[in-house]
Amino acid sequence: MRGGMKSFLGYTGAALTLAAAVSVPFFLMPALSKMVAQAGMHIDAAYSGGVIARTIQRPGYQIIVYQPVQPRMLEAIEPFVQIVFQPADALPAQVNEEIDLDGDGRPDVRVSFAVPADSRAPLRGDVTALNGRYLSLTHVAGESFSRLFVRTEKGVVVRVPLNQGVAGR
């Protein structure tokens, strides 16, 4: 009888532990999410592209220009400006745009790329710097966080590196 009671209590304890382990994330996740949100944590600008500076409306699509991203200490990236063309499915087959990145009313770069019909096909493009503040890119895809052309579900992301020699002026 004593051995049967030990087995019963052991299996009951194991079942309760398993039930608690399975249900705790459902109860704790909202509390943890709320705690993280209140802590002011956010995705680093090196990954998100930074803060939106302005939106340029074009017929059927828009160009979103972000503020320049400067690397933080110990980040191995170049400073860059992110541009997003969206929605991806509304872009013309060939995009060739002169874009004002710093908001001074004059175009700073010319971005050109062909949009493949297959959304999974690799995307490559060119950036021609129209002044010394930015660097030109030729036939770029996704070489680094600071130099890339990538198609996402929402649009085409282009990152233009800043010329570090003149970017701070």
Which residue range(s) make up the domain with 25?
A: 1-41
Q: What is the pLDDT of residue 169?
A: 47
Average pLDDT, the chain: 86
Q: Which residue has the higher pLDDT, 156 or 21?
A: 156
Residue 31: inside a domain, yes or no? yes
Q: What is the pLDDT of residue 57?
A: 94
| pLDDT tens-digit map of 120-147 | 888 889 999 999 999 999 988 777 777 8
Buried b (16+ CB within 10 A) or exposed e, 56-69: eeeeebebbbbbbb
In a shared domain, residues 13 and 79? no
Q: For residue 21, what is the enclosing H or E element?
A: helix 2-38
Q: Which residue has the higher pLDDT, 21 or 58?
A: 58
Confidence of residue 8 (pLDDT cuts 50, 70, 90): confident
pTM of the model: 0.73
In a shared domain, residues 96 and 156? yes
End-to-end Cα distance, the chain: 86
Region 54-61: what's the mean pLDDT?
93
What percent helix, strand, coil does the chain show, rounded to 5?
A: 25, 35, 40
Residue 147: inside a domain, yes or no? yes
Q: Nearest CA to 126 among 94, 164, 86, 103? A: 94
Q: Quick one: CA torsion of 58, 59, 62, 68, rounded to 10 degrees?
A: -10
